[in-house]
Chain A
Amino acid sequence: MPVQPILSLAGVGKTYKSGHRALEAVDLEIHKGEIFALLGPNGAGKTTMISIVCGIVNPSEGTITVDGHDAVRDYKKARAMIGLVPQELSVDMFETVIATARFSRRLFGRAPDDGYIEQLLKDLSLWDKRDSKIMALSGGMKRRVLIAKALSHEPDILFLDEPTAGVDVSLRRDMWKLIGRLRERGVTIILTTHYIEEAEEMADRVGVINNGRLLLVDEKSALMKKLGKREMDIALVEPMTTVPGALSEWDLELVDEGHKLRYTFDAQAERTGIPSLLRKLGDLDIGFKDLETSKSSLEDIFVDLVSEREQEEAAL
């Protein structure tokens, strides 16, 4: 049985008043309960896309549906389901932590619930700071306050726009724990990031965006398989200065000042070419002492994709 997506974008595009085309007709469906990572370089259009869904930026075209509610016509129902942690640290400096969390809950139409707010602040290690003015908090703490505000009305969908920008390792780990707990409660999470490891570690699906275009959307594992190149490093006994001509049929390069031969191959291909390469090395009397293979990270995939697109565009 096909499940209705909790959020869907159909042909959503944005041209800013400056004439800048920040988003090209994006089609995207987010499933309930998943963690979706939107990955892209600076200026790709991630914040623009999120802002449109949340009602902060008017779309130039397209429709957005949140759990069956049109985000424009039925905006109250749609927005009540969404919490947003913005990229910028925009907070009311003169407010206290607990006052701002209570404010957000009410603003989103929910009756006060001190028990919930208390638990939320405790989960975010903000309870001890509840009566502090926000301006007296550190940057990482301010980000937690923003998360508390976004979660104060118990949203079904949480947007995190670069949640770990300017956040230290321990807070980042806390953040992942929190996201894990939210997912257990069934909260759908959409996050943007430049940090590939983040998407790689947490996301179920990844969307790659560049120049306002959603280049591809796929299961993270499928994406890794589909595009994942593998590398094998062959540690040589004797360093080389050039790759011998007899090895030209393999895609080899010298790294580590000639101490290693690097072979790049497609792990999904039927023939990886590894056995024949090793045989050939034996034939040529090239001694090696170690072999090491590695998966390419999402980062490599991403760089590949972006440059592929750019080449395609240049070819047009």
Chain B
Amino acid sequence: MNLHGIWAIYRFEMARALRTLWQSVATPVITTSLYFVVFGGAIGSRMQQVGGVNYGSFIVPGLIMLTLLTQSISNASIGIYFPKFTGTIYELLSAPISSMEMVIGYVGAAATKSVALGLIILATSTLFVPLQIAHPLAMIAFLILTALTFSLFGFIIGVWAQGFEQLSIVPALLVTPLTFLGGAFYSIDMLPQPWRTVSLFNPVVYLVSGFRWSFFSKGDVSVAWSLGFIALFMALCLILIAWIFKSGYRLKS
């Protein structure tokens, strides 16, 4: 096991974020505050409660999920895409480091960053709304699992992408819409049929629901389903990554 190698990649990726610390932290904090002003303040004042929870508090898990998903993907995808773009990937490919060790370094760093962001947003939220967390351990577990899974997904996108536009295509065209439609800002019980059933095909519903359960002890679907879904998606990403490295897909010619 090349632990030094993993650590080198992890440190390198963390240093990249620290260089732009200001942007990395300020952007999500400002965005979150805006969401609270718009959704919590303007809309929430008319909605009051969702399932017994104050609307402002209700949207916190969804907001954190939205950031977690997009940041995990963009962190991990840029992490591996950038060396491909600048050509410095030659060094990674020539190093005595296995593909899984490389993934641990990149995905570990990307997940660390998005978990940190999630916690920052959580802390920001407490400035606007009252919050209590019913299952803190489960909350942390969901945070970490989701960050890891979507960092893996981001890593795959980074390997696949052949231009900067492609890097943002998947987050913009897939993840953000699915998150908005996935009950980030409402409970899918509020939807009329058939949309309620259609929503059950949206994977993000399970993430948001499980995460929200860890705050308020209730979600749109059962926690088991949520966990099962994350596990399934993580397994799929791992299989895909194993295949990518085995075949050298888009990394080696």
Name A residues whose Cβ lies closer than 8 Å to a Cβ of B.
16-17, 51, 54-58, 75-80, 82, 84, 86, 88, 90-94, 99, 103-104, 106-111, 149
Contacts and interface: CB of A to CB of B under 8 A. Distances in A.
Given A17-B253, A58-B253, A76-B2, A107 B95 contact: yes
Contacts of B98: 76
Given A76-B98, A77-B96, A79-B96, A107 B91 contact: yes
Contacts of B19: 94
Interface stretch (B5-13, B36-44, B159-167): B5-13
16 contacts: A17-B253, A57-B253, A58-B248, A80-B96, A84-B91, A84-B94, A86-B90, A88-B87, A90-B87, A99-B15, A106-B5, A106-B7, A106-B8, A107-B95, A108-B5, A108-B95
A10 to B, nearest CB: 20
Nearest to A111: B4
Contacts of B193: none
Interface string B18-52: 01000000000000000000000000000000000
A107 B4 contact: yes
A190 to B, nearest CB: 14
Nearest to A88: B87
A116 to B, nearest CB: 14
Contacts of A108: 4-5, 95-96
Given A17-B253, A90-B87, A107 B93 contact: no
Q: How large is the interface on B (under 10, 10 to 19, 20 to 34, 35 or more residues)?
A: 20 to 34
A55 B93 contact: yes
Contact of A84 (B7, B15, B90): B90
A107 B90 contact: no
A268 B96 CA distance: 48
Contacts of A90: 86-88, 90
B18 to A, nearest CB: 11
Contacts, number: 77
Given A16-B253, A110-B4, A104 B91 contact: yes
A56 B95 CA distance: 9
A27 B68 CA distance: 52
A80 B5 CA distance: 11
Contacts of A51: 90
Contacts of A58: 248, 252-253
B53 interface: no
B181 interface: no
B252 A75 contact: no
B119 interface: no
Contacts of B16: 94
Contacts of A82: 94
B97 interface: yes
B120 interface: no
A57 B9 contact: no
A261 to B, nearest CB: 52
Contacts of B12: 103
